[in-house]
Structure 1
Amino acid sequence: MANLFKRIFSEHGAKNVVTLFHKPSNAASTRVLTLLKQVNAQAAAHATEDQASSHQSQNKLERVEFELDVTEAPPTADQLKNIIDYLGGPSAVSKVISGAQDEPDAVRRLKADGDSFKRPLVVDWNQGKVVAGDHESEILSLLNSISKDSGKA
């Protein structure tokens, strides 16, 4: 299913959607939100500069704008399953759901208590990549992998 999303997005040249599962009262989550906003603003500024400059600079792999989706809601069960897959499968459930042993347990715990979901969590749905926590270098690496060529089939 994740490959289907990737193919659909890349065929239509849509922007990558990066979702931050956010908790405003969590300082780490607020830092991640600030970082994502700054990186997206810089990418937008560079995109505008590129439009006015020569086409030679557009051939380089550069970070491009992404659609930033910030939500305080926990993921849906389907989103959670994708997140777990992106993180490497069943062994990753405890990275996103406190105390979960496996995927069915994670879904059950999520439905019972949305606060069991660990935030911040950054998801690039197009690339199928996730960063759990406020690991700035990992988040920047994820964002740097969004290149101008990622939207081309």
Structure 2
Amino acid sequence: MVFRFAKTLDPITLFHTPSLPSSKTAHRTLTHALTLSQSANAPASSRGEFQLEVTTAPPTTDQLRNILDYVTGNPAGAGTLDRGARYSVAEVVRGPRMWRMRRTVDWTSGQAVVGDNESEILKMVQQINQN
């Protein structure tokens, strides 16, 4: 008898604002991708298995720092975000509107998609098992 640990799935978090159409689109995209990942009929090349975490709570300060680093490539957290506007971590933490932006985050791979760009979200999901 061979003992194997069960594979843990990479967590993908959607910071969701249910009242926003773009957030609903991102949620629908992720839910569809999750359903496909669990389907035996899905082509292996399009199937990234993951655990979907949906939260309406704002990201913590540490999570925001990570998200800004993932999006901008700048560990200090300053960079371009939200249609070219530049923000620092301090501005994002202070700005209540900022946390409402839809963010889809793959914590394991260090990737984030801001907004509801379906092709970018699907690309992130498909890369999960390829890393």
TM-score class normalised by the smaller sequence: 0.7 to 0.9
Cα offset, 1:36, TM superposition: 0.6
* 2:79 aligned to which of 91, 100, 124: 91
* 1:136 lines up with 2:118 in the alignment: yes
Runs of 4+ more than 6 Å apart: none
Q: State the TM-score, normalizing by the size of structure 2.
A: 0.79
Cα offset, 1:42, TM superposition: 1.0
* Contact map agreement 1:95 1:118 (CA 8 A) in 2: no
Q: CA RMSD in A?
A: 2.5
What SS does the corresponding residue of 1:25 show, helix, strand or coil? Answer: coil
Q: State the TM-score, normalizing by the size of structure 1.
A: 0.69
* 1:26 aligned to which of 15, 20, 25: 20
* 1:74 aligned to which of 55, 58, 79: 58
Question: How many aligned residue pairs are there?
Answer: 121
Distance in 2, matches of 1:68 and 1:139, equals 12
* Contact map agreement 1:20 1:71 (CA 8 A) in 2: yes
What SS does the corresponding residue of 2:58 show, helix, strand or coil? Answer: coil
- For structure 2, which runs of at least 5 residues remain unmatched after alignment? 1-5
* Contact map agreement 1:100 1:106 (CA 8 A) in 2: no
Judging by fraction of residues, say which structure has more strand: 2
